[in-house]
Amino acid sequence: MWRCAIFSSIPPYTHKPQYDATNIMLKKYQIEANEKFFDNVMELVKDGGIYCWVSINKQFIKRGGKLIAEDNDAYDKVSEIVSPEYLKKKFVNTNKPGDTL
């Protein structure tokens, strides 16, 4: 049985304008908003369920209170928009040696 949560929205702050060299990094409030978004995803998706990030065509499976990235690219996309601490606490990259549930 497939369980998939498809959200029509993307995490709130993923757009980084190419023209503004001073805005390469997300601001703290933007990172916090993204983390809150993923906290909501974690509440909505049950263990074994799938979160689909439609705009980048990537999937994450929820297991053991973490979201498992389907590949390195999916994990890298999340790492760009959340803090390193949050990433380590809530996400797993199964393609990276030593990264486990």
Specify the number of domains making up the chain: 1
Element spanning 72, H or E: helix 72-79
Q: Does any domain span residue 101?
A: no
Q: 59: closest CA among 41, 43, 71?
A: 71
SS3 58: strand
Q: Render pLDDT for 50-74 as a digit per residue (tens, 0 to 9).
A: 999 999 999 999 999 999 999 999 9
Range of the structural domain that residue 60 is part of? 4-13+23-93
pLDDT at 29 over 90: yes
Q: Does any domain span residue 18?
A: no
- Residue of higher predicted confidence among 97 and 61: 61
pTM more than 0.75: no
Q: Does any domain span residue 45?
A: yes
